[in-house]
Structure 1
Amino acid sequence: MSLTLRLYQPSDATVITSWLKSEYLMRQWCADRYEHYPVTPEDMNRCSERYIDGQRSRALTMVDGCDIVGYITLRIPADDPAEQRLGFVIVDDSRRGCGLGKALVSMAIKYAYEELGATKVSLGVFENNPSAIHCYESAGFHRIPLLETESYKCLDETWNCIEMGQHKRIMK
C-alpha cells in the first residue's frame, strides 16, 4: 500500500458515499448531519461547501495510489487553534480489517500536529461502534470522562457519544 492524504475534491464524493451501505452505518458516520438516507454525492458536496472552509475546517481524502480509500475531516472545535477535532471518519468498506482506519486516523493526527500546529486532537464516537472505538484506541486516543454525555436521536433511538482525545507528545 502507498497511502497518502490529500485535500478532498468534489469528485471524491461518488466513491465515499458509495460506502454508506445502510442508514445505520450512515448515522454512525455523521449522526444527524445529513437529513436523509441515502446521502448522494451532491449532498456531500453541498455539506462540504457549507462547512469546510480550508482554515477552521478541512476535509481530507486518503488514497492508495489512484484509489480513494478513506475520508476524514479536521476542525477547530472552539476558538483554540491548538485543538483539532476529527470527524466523518470512513474507509472503503470493501477493505475493512486491513488497517486503513488506523492509518487514516494516524495520518490525520500527524497532519494536525505537524501541519496545523495542534497540541491536542479530539473526537466523539458513538458507544454502539466498538470497531471505531478500538481503531481510535489503537491510534493512541483515550476516553475522556465528561460531566454530561452528548446524545443524538438516530433511527428512533438515543445514541450516546464517547469523548476521546490525545495530546501531542513532546520529545525532549
Structure 2
Amino acid sequence: MSTTPHPSPLIPSAARAGLTFGLILVVMYTARILSLQVPLLQILYFFGVIIVPIVAYRGARAYRDYFYPTGPFKAGQGFSYVVLLHVFGGILAFIPQYFYFRYAMPTLLAAWEEALRTMPGATAQMREMILQMQGITLWQWLWTDYCLTIILGGIWGLITGLILRRK
C-alpha cells in the first residue's frame, strides 16, 4: 500500500499572499498611470518600486518561519515563493496595465512622434522607432510587462532564497 506524499504548501500560500502582493502592484501601476496627470504620484510609484522587493522578502521569510520553523529551508524554496508571488500578483496587475497600454501609451507615443517632427536634430531612425512602437499590439505590451514582472521576481527570488536558506 502506498501513501500519497504530503502536498507542498508552496502554491496555496503563494497564491493567497500573491493577491495581497498584487494589490501593491495595482497601486504602484495605477500611480504610474495617474502620474501623467498628477506628477506628484511619481513619488508613490517610486515608493512602490522600492517596497516590492521588501514585501517579497518579508513574505518569503514569513512562509519559511511558518512552514519550516526549525528544519532546513533551501534557497530554491525561497526563490520559488517569491517568483510565484510575482506570478500571482502580476495577474492582478494586468488591470491597471491594460488601461495604461490601451489609453495612455498611444497618447504618449503620438506626443513623442509630434515632438520628434518639430525637433531639428531628430533622425529618421528615431521616428521609425516610434512608428514601430505604435505597431505593437496591446496584448504584446501586456505580455512583455507581465514577463518583466516575473523576471524581476526571479532576481528578487534568487537574492531572497540565498538570504533565507537554512541547513
- TM-score w.r.t. length of structure 2: 0.32
| Larger RCO (CA within 8 A; separation ≥ 6) | 2
- TM-score w.r.t. length of structure 1: 0.31
- For the pair shown, the structure with the greater C-alpha radius of gyration is 2
